[in-house]
Amino acid sequence: MQRILVAIDGSEPAWKALEVAGDLARLANARIDVLHVVRPEPPPEGLVAYAEAERIPLEEEIARWRSDRLAGDALVREARDRLAARGVSAVETIVEEGTPATAIPASAERLGVDLVVVGSRGRTGLAATLLGSVSQRVAQHARCSVLIVR
């Protein structure tokens, strides 16, 4: 195993997935790619229509998207620090725009990783089911092995 992709959303299960990915990387001497997916920046025309439909000021929507993006940058920085603290330094961080369920398998393919690691749940779901929709879809669509951390 040479390359591991771990997807994080800031939730506890995702931090746990990062820990497990870090342990595996250390054991296998593998590289780690840390991925966080943010919603895409709406195109200007779409943005105007969206803001009108939702009756929110355009500036507010732009500010919200910027703050999501900054939070995403901070999230992957924290992941890098946590991995460094566990002795893993061969780390790349990626903040990508898109839908997590499709962007994670697509990145796995593009990067040619041997394993994708995700948490069983994330921050957006109800705790009623054991698996969130993103971890389910990654397990279904990734062409490489997937580890779902609980």
Ligand X SMILES: Nc1ncnc2c1ncn2[C@@H]1O[C@H](COP(=O)(O)OP(=O)(O)OP(=O)(O)O)[C@@H](O)[C@H]1O
Q: Residue 22 binds what, of Mg ion, ligand X, none (CB under 5 to 8 Å, by partner type)?
A: none
- Return the number of the residue (44 or 110) whose C-beta is nearest ligand X: 110
In this chain, which of 13, 22, 72, 122 binds Mg ion, going by CB under 5 A? Answer: 122
Min dist CB 13 to Mg ion, Å, is 10
- Give me the residues that bind ligand X (CB under 6 A), please: 7-9, 11, 13-14, 17, 35-37, 100, 118-119, 121-125, 132-135
- Return the number of the residue (105 or 119) whose C-beta is nearest ligand X: 119
* Element (DSSP H or E) covering residue 22: helix 12-28
Q: Are 81 and 21 in contact (CB under 8 A)?
A: no
In this chain, which of 99, 124, 129, 140 binds Mg ion, going by CB under 5 A? Answer: 124
Residues 6+ apart with CB under 8 A from 13: 119, 120, 121, 122, 149, 150
Distance CA 137, CA 103 (A): 11
Min dist CB 1 to ligand X, Å, is 18
Phi, psi dihedral angles at 19 (to 5 degrees): -60, -45
Q: Are 95 and 10 in contact (CB under 8 A)?
A: no
Q: Residue 11 binds what, of ligand X, Mg ion, none (CB under 5 to 8 Å, by partner type)?
A: ligand X
